[in-house]
Amino acid sequence: MNPLIKIRNLLSSDRELLSNSIQKTGFFSDEEHKIALELIDDALQKDNSDYHFGVAEVDSKVAGYACYGQRPLTESTYDLYWIVVDPDFQKHGIGKQLMSWSESQIHSAGGTLVIAETSGKKIYEPTRKFYLGIGYREEARIKDFYKKGDDMVIFTKRLGNSIYQ
């Protein structure tokens, strides 16, 4: 049975909990962790941040988050910057809920295209399967993007009644 998942806005009390979740996944380098926290801090400190967060709660416990924003210089394209589900809460549909919530928010804001970028390393295979399983398609792969042997894999999803779906 899947738990009741609530998605709400980011609170300052979430920062440390989300930092712990990022660390516990084992996916992110220290530099990536630092950047994720910079985006959280930006959203907490600015009224009109370019970064939008949805925080997933299960039984009043922070279980993960998604962060997205409009891609600069585009009319209706949005980037999914981060999606993190604490390992203690994985395999319960929380990632799917966070993505559905993000897509709904993006669509409501007039967004028609979501881009999600991830690593081509073997450890990210479940992440790539996750995107494919929720309707994204692999749009491009840039060889050795992050470093030699670590490709960037770009996934896209068209929202709403786009003629390109």
Q: Where are the domains of the chain?
A: 5-158
Burial class of 105 by CB neighbour count within 10 A (0 to 12, 13 to 18, 19+): middle
Question: How many secondary structure helices (H) and strands (E) does the chain include?
Answer: 4, 7
pLDDT tens-digit map of 40-95: 999 999 988 999 999 999 999 999 999 999 999 999 999 999 999 999 999 999 99
Residue 112's identity, in one-letter code, is T
- 161 falls in which pLDDT band (50, 70, 90)? low
**Cα–Cα distance, 5 to 131 (Å, whole number):** 20
Over residues 112-146, the pLDDT tens digits come to 999 999 999 999 999 999 999 999 999 999 999 99
- What is the CATH T-level fold of the domain 5-158, as seen in this structure? Aminopeptidase (3.40.630)
The pTM for the full model equals 0.91
Say if residue 165's pLDDT is above 90: no
